[in-house]
Chains A and B, each alone.
Chain A
Amino acid sequence: MEKPSLFRLASSFFKINMVTFGGGYSIIPVISKTYVEKWGYLSEEEMLNLIALCPSVPGAMAVNASVLVGYRLRGKTGALVSFIGAILPPLFIITAVFYFYAEFQSNQIIQAVLNGMRGAVSAIMLYATFNMAKGALKSNKIFSILMMSSIFLIGYFSDVPTVALILSAGAIGFFYFRIFKTLVLKGGL
């Protein structure tokens, strides 16, 4: 598999973290769009595996995901340059905002530009999310569709914490694929 240069890792994560509004999972489709669709460094499945690890550690999802992709593609040095690329944009932007705070909040032109950017980022996210869904639903179709829609419905309409949803999904995967399908159905028990 072809590997990205360290410069490409750092600069791409700088750009991605520079434009991604929303926090939490919102950065994932944008990373996936760049690394899976555009460059093909990772498969859709590998990408989702990496993302699945992120909630296990504290801290910002955007940084964790950037570091993990860098680590997967270029080892520890890759992790480090992706880390630096990911944390610089908020550092620069908020420092600037701090000094021009009053100006920033009242400046109609800045607000108009940000407004247009947010609409565009929403589009990128939604479009990339559908592509990720296509990738995730390729294998174990019925199981995956049921899992995805029930997590979506529960997460969207109830206050069940995300951590609980993730833990249950992992546990269900373990019991269904490892215990039920492999051992029970194939008579391994």
Chain B
Amino acid sequence: MAMLWDLFVTFLTIGSTAFGGGYAVMPLITRYVVEERQWITIVELADVTSISQMTPGPIILNSATFVGVKMAGFMGGVVATLGSVLPSFILILILGYYFFKHSDLAFIQAILSGLRPAIVGLILIASLALIQTSLFNGAWPGMEGSSFNLVAILTFIVGILISSKTKIDTLGIVTIGGLIGLASYFIL
């Protein structure tokens, strides 16, 4: 019980301070979970990071679940996850409440007109980063360490074709990608 509470509070602290998302949370986890509490080693943290690259899900939730399950089983995973997301859940509701109420104010509209194209620019960076990782082993062709992941390149092309020609949804496209991956194991 004490462990569950400790997990909850620790990840609540991490969740309240992890601005920026993604890898911005790593130094916080290193400090609170690896150094102060010593719940996992730095090697295990590196493993969690590499698992996060292989599986879906934000790194903060993945590491909360991993640490929680390790320390106190599935319930540990649940409380650590809840702790890590509770601060943002409450803050985003408050922010959303005021935003939906006042979004017609001229100065807010002006700020948003600046933000919308900027956000698309940031999303494009994220898309390219994922393509670089998934298709070319983390480096663009011509750069050091780059290699062609032929199966992923094939599922990428198939995914683009399906997206532009059909109405098959995300889960369908990802399933087709997974099946092609599975087939590649038996063929190659």
Contacts and interface: CB of A to CB of B under 8 A. Distances in A.
B77 A137 contact: no
Given A59-B15, A94-B69, A98-B70, A112 B61 contact: no
Contact of B119 (A51, A87, A123): A51
Interface string A85-99: 001011101110111
A41 interface: no
A57 B91 contact: yes
Nearest to B60: A60
Residue picked from B19, B171, B177, B180, most chain A C-beta under 10 Å? B177
Given A72-B100, A147-B117, A55 B55 contact: no
Interface of A: 15-26, 28-30, 33-34, 38, 45, 48-49, 51-64, 67-68, 71-72, 76, 79, 83, 87, 89-91, 93-95, 97-99, 101, 104, 108-109, 111-129, 132-133, 136-137, 139-140, 143-145, 147-152, 155-156, 161-163, 165-166, 169-174, 176-178, 182
B119 A48 contact: yes
Interface of B: 15-23, 47, 51-62, 65-66, 69-70, 74, 77-78, 81-82, 84-85, 87-89, 91-93, 95-96, 99-100, 103, 106-107, 109-131, 133-135, 149, 151-160, 162-164, 167, 169-171, 173-174, 176-182, 184-185
A121 B122 contact: no
A91 B77 contact: yes
Contacts of B82: 87
Contact of A116 (B100, B115, B124, B177): B177
Contact of A57 (B70, B88, B103): B88
A38 B169 contact: yes
Contacts of B61: 60, 63, 87, 90-91, 94
9 contacts: A25-B123, A53-B96, A60-B21, A67-B93, A109-B182, A114-B54, A119-B134, A119-B156, A124-B174
Contact of A155 (B69, B112, B121, B131): B121
Contacts of A113: 178, 181-182, 185
Residue picked from A55, A57, A64, most chain B C-beta under 10 Å? A57
A21 B136 CA distance: 16
Given A15-B171, A23-B59, A126-B131, A58 B87 contact: yes
A34 B60 CA distance: 24
Contacts of B15: 58-59
A145 B113 CA distance: 12
A59 B92 CA distance: 10
B156 A120 contact: yes
Contact of B84 (A59, A129, A170): A59
Nearest to A121: B174
Residue picked from A25, A49, A123, A165, most chain B C-beta under 10 Å? A123
A120 B172 CA distance: 10
Given A87-B61, A98-B66, A172 B93 contact: no
Given A49-B103, A71-B96, A163-B19, A120 B115 contact: no
A51 B112 CA distance: 10
Given A122-B131, A139-B113, A26 B156 contact: no
B130 A127 contact: no
Contacts of A58: 15-19, 87-88, 91
Contacts of B151: 112, 115-116, 119
Given A122-B127, A145-B117, A117 B170 contact: no
